[in-house]
Amino acid sequence: MSTFEHSCADCGLTGCRRPGGEYPAFCVTTHMPPEVKAAAMAEYEKPENRRIMSAAAEVEYEGYCQWPRVREIMEFARRMGYRKLGIATCVGLIRETRTLARILRDNGFEVFGIACKAGAVPKVDVGIDEKCNAVGCNMCNPILQAKMLEEAGTELNIVVGLCVGHDSLFYKYSAATTTTLVTKDRVLGHNPAAALYTAESYCRNKLHLEGDKA
Check residue 100 and give left, alpha or beta (phi > 0: left; psi -120 to 50: alpha).
alpha
Q: Is 175 contained in some domain?
A: yes
Q: What is the pTM of this model?
A: 0.93
Q: pLDDT tens, 105-144? A: 999 999 999 999 999 999 999 999 999 999 999 999 999 9
Range of the domain at 177: 33-183
Q: Is 198 contained in some domain?
A: no
Please give the tally of structural domains in the chain. 1
- Band (pLDDT 50/70/90 cuts) for residue 209 is confident
Beta strands 110-115 and 84-89, pairing class: parallel
Q: pLDDT tens, 55-89? A: 999 999 999 999 999 999 999 999 999 999 999 99
pLDDT of residue 4: 75
- Band (pLDDT 50/70/90 cuts) for residue 213 is very low
Q: Is 11 contained in some domain?
A: no
Q: pLDDT tens, 161-182? A: 999 999 999 999 999 999 999 9
Kindly report the average pLDDT of the chain as a whole number.
Answer: 95
Q: Is 14 contained in some domain?
A: no
Domain harbouring 159, CATH code: 3.40.50.11840
Q: Is 24 contained in some domain?
A: no
Q: Is 75 contained in some domain?
A: yes
Q: Is 213 contained in some domain?
A: no
Q: Is 200 contained in some domain?
A: no
Whether 163 and 91 have beta carbons less than 8 Å apart is answered as no
Helix (H) or strand (E) holding 29, with range, is helix 28-31
- Band (pLDDT 50/70/90 cuts) for residue 214 is very low
Give the side-chain half-sphere CA count within 13 A for 20. 0
**How far is Cα 140 from Cα 163, in angstroms, rounded to an integer?**
9
